[in-house]
Amino acid sequence: MDHALVRSEGVSEILTASESRGRDASWERFESLYRSSRDDVYAYVSTLLRDPAAAEDVTALAFERAYRRRRTFDRRRGEERAWLFGIARNAALDELRRRRRVATLVTDPEDVVEVSEGDGAEVALRRTAVQNALAKLPAREREIVALKFHAGMSNAELARVLGVSESNAGTLVYRTMEKLRKACNATA
């Protein structure tokens, strides 16, 4: 699968209306960042929270926070994308904390396997197995999957978001994948 296909698209035309406003460099950077990261941030947050409604709120909150803080961004401390995902991560963790405080029953969405016409039964089974294995992962490892495969981050970006070294981030990805592989093979 071409990973470039999963990147955000169709956002630029929405933002052209704002070009008439007085622009500043920070706004242009934020606009570009939003255009390239909107879908990735949602995918990451949605996988982490397993709640589409909460994922929408947290995604909106993350971009709002990033917009408010856009002038405080320091390039020497990392790339903007990692900075944005750091904000999204904090917002998602705050949402997890809020859930725990209010003791709201949050149910995981039911696993719905959409088998396209071209997919064979074997592929559908493998997809179901991966989804089930992913659902059973702890949140910390599910976050690794979300950042790596749903947000499309490199190991270096992933390391900056999590605050670990790049080698440690790679090790985390490896362990998570091994766990998934074993779970899938056990299911098979």
Q: Which residues bind another protein (CB under 8 A)?
A: 1-3, 6, 11, 14-15, 17-18, 21, 27, 31, 34, 38-39, 42-43, 46-47, 52, 55-57, 59-61, 63-64, 67-68, 90, 93-94, 96-98, 100, 126-127, 130-131, 134, 138-140, 143, 145, 148-150, 152, 154-155, 162-165, 167-168, 170-174, 177, 180-181, 184-185
In whole angstroms, how close is the CB of 76 to another protein at the nearest point? 20
Shortest distance (Å) from residue 64 CB to another protein: 5
Nearer to another protein, 17 or 75 (CB): 17
Q: How many CB atoms lie within 10 A of CB 54?
A: 20
CA–CA dist 3, 175 (Å, integer): 22
Contact yes or no for 85/41 (Cβ under 8 A): yes
Summarize the chain as % helix, strand, coil (round to 5): 75, 0, 25
Output the DSSP codes for 39-50. Answer: HHHHHHHHHHH-
Closest CB 75 distance from another protein, rounded Å: 22
